[in-house]
Amino acid sequence: MRLIPVLDVREGTAVHAVGGRRKEYRPVKSVLAEGSSPLSLARAYLSLGLKEIYFADLDAIEGSGDNLASLSQIVKGGAEVMVDAGFERAEDARPYAEVGVKKLVAATETLESFAEVERARGYGLPLVGSVDLKEGRVVARSRKTGGPVARVVQALERAGVSELLLLNLDRVGTSTGPNVALSQRVLRLTRLPVLVGGGVRGAGDLRLLKKLGMAGVLLATSLHLGRVGRKEIEEILRDP
């Protein structure tokens, strides 16, 4: 199972995401690095053996700017980045593809339609279909990308995503535990690799998710608080 650390970035600063309430996000305080520089945290992740990073460009998601400069530094530093920048249409992804990211995230919260996923495949990068959730319900920009979880999963699969992400926005940063029941349900709905984000408390949750068959887990708070460190990371990555 892959362990994928998260960088939520606003105005060039890494912030601590809690419950999807973006106006309340504050600069990260982490045991991994001094300050809240995205580049410093990315280097800390890399030093732990975590090369794959999930980068959320909050300014782009909120339509108030972008963090391409920070992203470019991190990519040049050797990280393999999947980026969520709130793409509505395929053309919105172009600047990020040109920076050299490894994957593009197509998220239900901002995506105009699933047809845009098919168009974005023209950049030649794998696409991660993010099923954004609050209280188990899909958060969507429009009816075209909303509806029951099963419908959205199947639509993203048909559109050509290479893997799925179940992003439980209301659990992010809360240390309340992952949504295990929903994860199990989605695993039964698709043959695609499934990632999950939101609520991980520590190594116990990682072991459970790995046992369920999740392909990967997004991590932030548990890393910043030191609940998941080098020992736990090596255990999860090592053991079959």
Separation in Å, CA 28 to CA 16, 36, 40, 165, 220 = 5, 5, 12, 23, 10
Confidence at residue 21, expressed as pLDDT on a 0 to 100 scale: 82
Domains and CATH numbers, the chain: 2-238 (3.20.20.70)
Q: What is the mean pLDDT of the chain?
A: 95
Sign of CA dihedral 161, 194, 2, 14: positive
Give the pairing of strands 26-27 and 52-57: unpaired
Give the pairing of strands 2-10 and 13-16: antiparallel
Give the pairing of strands 52-57 and 2-10: parallel
φ/ψ of 171, rounded to 5, equals -100, -15
Give the pairing of strands 103-107 and 137-138: unpaired
Q: What confidence tens digit (pLDDT) does each residue in 126-163 have?
A: 999 999 999 999 999 888 999 999 999 999 999 999 99
φ/ψ of 165, rounded to 5, equals -125, 125
Separation in Å, CA 172 to CA 20, 51, 72 = 7, 21, 25
Q: Cα–Cα distance between 136 and 208 in angstroms, integer?
A: 19
Share of the chain above pLDDT 70, in %: 99
Confidence at residue 20, expressed as pLDDT on a 0 to 100 scale: 77
Q: Is the pLDDT of residue 125 over 80?
A: yes
Q: What confidence tens digit (pLDDT) does each residue in 66-98 have?
A: 999 999 999 999 999 999 999 999 999 999 999
Q: Is the pLDDT of residue 240 over 80?
A: no
